[in-house]
Amino acid sequence: MQKTLTKKEYQKYVDEKSTNSKLLRNVIRAFVVGGLICIVGQFITNVLKMKGLGQDETASLTSLLMILIGALLTGLNVYDDIGRFAGAGSIVPITGFANSIVSPAMEFKSEGYIMGVGAKMFVIAGPVLVYGISASVIAGIIHFMLG
């Protein structure tokens, strides 16, 4: 079809017709919600420190509790609503990482615990782990070389 438009021209035409996401609004929402999640984390950290835990234990336990909150809110069908509102604000923190693992586990439970939950659990978090771990190994080697 389209004797008048080439593929390139059509792509350009489509780009003009398609509205983009509202960047400023999304950035503000991400900032606010992401900030709130961090405040919750800081609150947990402060409470744990008050209870007399050391720096390392506090950091680990805070991460664990944030993961628990993220997983729980995913299971309660709330985290996707937060995500729809906040975008990167709720994807980037560790609660978002929990969400990316729990949500496929829930979704693919119908295919069983091996090929469903087991195989699909890391379908979204997998790339993050692969490249995150790879990057840390490279950084470790450089650190070692530099003494």
Partner 1 sequence: MAAKKIGKQTVKLQNPPSIIATASIVGPKEGEGPLRLYFDEIIEDEFFGEKTWEKAESKLMRETFAKVLKKANKTAENIDYIFAGDLLNQCVAANFGLRESGVPFFGVFGACSTMAESMSLGSLLVDGGFADNVVCITSSHFCSAEKQFRFPLELGTQRPPTAQWTVTGSGGAVISNKGGGPYITHITTGKIVDMGIKDVNNMGAAMAPAAIDTIVTHFEDTGFKPENYDLIVTGDLGAVGKEICDELIREQGYNISSVYNDCGVMIYDRKKQDTHAGGSGCGCSATVFAGFIYKKLLEGVINNVLFVATGALLSTTSSQQGESIPSIAHAVRISNSIS
Stretch that binds partner 1, among 43-51, 59-67, 103-111, 131-139 (CB under 8 A): 103-111
In the list 77, 114, 146, 147, the residue contacting partner 1 (rule: CB under 8 A) is 77
Q: Which residue has the tokens 């960047």?
A: 23
Task: Answer for the pair 86, 30: CB distance below 8 angstroms, yes or no.
Answer: yes
Nearest C-alpha neighbor of 101 from the set 119, 81, 88 = 119
**C-alpha–C-alpha distance, residues 35 and 103, integer Å:** 23
Query: Residue 62, Cα to own-chain centre: how many angstroms?
Result: 17
State the minimum distance, in angstroms, from the CB of residue 133 to partner 1.
22
Binding footprint of partner 1 on the chain (CB under 8 A): 1-2, 4-5, 7-8, 10-11, 13-14, 17-21, 26, 74-75, 77, 79-84, 86-87, 90-91, 96, 99-100, 102-104, 106-108, 110, 124
